[in-house]
């Protein structure tokens, strides 16, 4: 590998704001200690959590901060010997982009305990897309929802990157997937990603869902959040599960939440929170191979680090129609 430089290019937020708050700067490359891994970043995915941090909504984040809760690249240095130099790896969460500088840079320094080796031979655009998106979709489906083959799954917020990934995973594992979208023009996108049916998202779809599927859904992955959660609970059959795992609707809490009123008798409500432990358990290599082969279709839109403001603007406007990945030469 090339020698580690003293300085690197990074996208830094000094003050909360819109996409233009991201500034490209030269920052020092940190020297790793034992128990840490310095990663030469080749790709990273964009996540709405980073948009909220950029806007100033993430608690306890101190600015200036290099954003980015995930990264994929190669090991530049691991003083503790946990990984060989040049190994392809991915990392996610653990305080990245919040407690300490994250993946929006040519190098990122993270604890070795949250680094995962990747041996699947895939391009950086695929590997950069997968870590956070796939661990969220996989964990929500199989840890929280306990999805099984043959079950009917409703994905609320189906055109989000996690929604598209969830549909692809669930369909591959034999579930019947129905996805929602606010735009009828995205129907083909959702069907191509694994959905068998699409319901136009109006904020209140329970009546239409029950009209099409009178027995209700076995499982619901709720990615819109508090704005549609009560409505989603009405679409589930008795014994079914709703998992709240996203806030694409932009609202964090329910107003005047009354469990006995909102949750139907015999229906179960759970959540899913992304963690380092969940990421380490996600079968990233197997998923990467399935995406590369086309067995699971994940739309990806790529940008360069120099276009980070444009990439964030696309995320803000929800016009990507897939996972946004930033590539670094």
Q: How far is CA 75 from the centre of its chain?
A: 23
Over residues 131-159, the mean pLDDT reads 97
Q: Residue 1 pLDDT > 80, yes or no?
A: no
CA 75 to CA 84: how far, in whole Å? 7
Mean pLDDT of the chain: 95
Q: How far is CA 98 from the centre of its chain?
A: 16
Predicted model pTM = 0.92
CA 321 to CA 289: how far, in whole Å? 22
Phi first, then psi, for residue 182 (nearest 5°) are: -75, -15
CA 172 to CA 298: how far, in whole Å? 12
Over residues 214-234, the mean pLDDT reads 95
* Rounded percentage of the chain residues whose pLDDT exceeds 70: 99
Q: Which helix (H) or strand (E) holds 95?
A: none
| pLDDT for position 256 | 78
Q: Residue 254 pLDDT > 90, yes or no?
A: no
Q: Residue 277 pLDDT > 80, yes or no?
A: yes
| pLDDT for position 181 | 95
Q: Could you give the dihedral angle defined by the CA atoms of residues 241, 286, 89 and 47, in that order, rounded to the nearest 10 degrees?
A: -40
pLDDT digit string, tens, across residues 227-244: 999 999 999 999 999 999
CA 234 to CA 321: how far, in whole Å? 28
Q: What is the DSSP string of 211-261?
A: HH-TT-EEEEEE-S-TTTHHHHHTTEEEEEEEEE---TTS--S-TT--HHH
Burial call 44-70: b when 16+ CB within 10 Å, e when fewer: bbbbbbbbbbbeeebeebeeebbbbbb
H helices of the chain, in order, are 48-55, 124-129, 131-139, 161-172, 187-192, 206-212, 229-233, 259-262, 276-281, 284-293, 308-317
CA 115 to CA 75: how far, in whole Å? 10
Over residues 312-322, the mean pLDDT reads 93
| pLDDT for position 217 | 98
CA 7 to CA 85: how far, in whole Å? 19
pLDDT digit string, tens, across residues 51-67: 999 999 988 899 999 99
Q: Could you give the dihedral angle defined by the CA atoms of residues 241, 133, 311 and 124, in that order, rounded to the nearest 10 degrees?
A: -160
> Out of 197-201, 253-257, 325-329, which region has the weakest mean confidence (pLDDT)?
253-257
Whether 124 contacts 43, CB under 8 Å: yes
| pLDDT for position 226 | 85
Q: Residue 132 pLDDT > 90, yes or no?
A: yes
Phi first, then psi, for residue 71 (nearest 5°) are: -165, 155
Q: Could you give the dihedral angle defined by the CA atoms of residues 69, 74, 78 and 83, in that order, rounded to the nearest 10 degrees?
A: 110
DSSP one-letter code for 308? H
Band (pLDDT 50/70/90 cuts) for residue 261 is confident
| pLDDT for position 249 | 72
Band (pLDDT 50/70/90 cuts) for residue 274 is confident
Over residues 300-320, the mean pLDDT reads 96
Tell which residue, 201, 246, 196, 257, has the closest CA to residue 224: 246
Q: Residue 250 pLDDT > 80, yes or no?
A: no
């Amino acid at each position: 590998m090339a020698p580690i430089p003293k300085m690197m290019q990074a996208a830094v937020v000094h003050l909360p704001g819109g996409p233009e708050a991201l500034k490209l700067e030269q920052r020092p490359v940190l020297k790793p200690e034992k128990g840490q891994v310095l990663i030469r970043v080749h790709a990273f995915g964009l996540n709405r959590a980073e948009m909220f941090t950029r806007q100033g909504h993430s608690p306890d984040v101190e600015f200036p901060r290099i954003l980015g809760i995930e990264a994929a690249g190669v090991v530049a240095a691991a003083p503790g010997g946990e990984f060989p130099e040049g190994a392809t790896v991915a990392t996610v969460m653990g305080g990245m982009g919040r407690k300490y500088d994250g993946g929006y840079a040519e190098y990122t320094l993270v604890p070795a305990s949250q680094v995962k080796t990747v041996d699947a031979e895939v391009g950086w655009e695929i590997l950069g897309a997968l870590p956070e998106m796939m661990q969220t979709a996989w964990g929500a489906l199989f840890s929280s929802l306990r999805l099984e083959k043959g079950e009917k799954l409703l994905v609320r917020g189906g055109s989000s990157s996690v929604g598209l990934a969830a549909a692809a995973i669930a369909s591959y594992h034999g579930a019947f997937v129905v996805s929602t979208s606010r735009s009828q023009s995205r129907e083909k996108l959702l069907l191509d990603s694994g959905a068998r049916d699409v319901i136009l998202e109006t904020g209140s779809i329970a009546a239409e869902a029950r009209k099409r599927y009178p027995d209700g859904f076995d499982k619901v992955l709720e990615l819109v959040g508090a704005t549609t959660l009560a409505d989603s609970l009405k679409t589930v059959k008795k014994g079914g599960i709703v998992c709240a795992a996203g806030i694409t609707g932009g609202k964090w809490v329910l107003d005047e939440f009354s469990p006995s009123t909102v949750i139907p008798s015999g229906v179960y409500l759970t959540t899913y929170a992304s963690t380092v432990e969940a990421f380490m358990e996600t079968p990233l290599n197997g998923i990467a191979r399935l995406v590369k082969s086309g067995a699971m279709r994940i739309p990806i839109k790529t940008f360069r680090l120099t276009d980070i403001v444009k990439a964030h603007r696309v995320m803000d406007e929800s016009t990507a129609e897939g996972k946004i990945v930033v590539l670094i030469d």
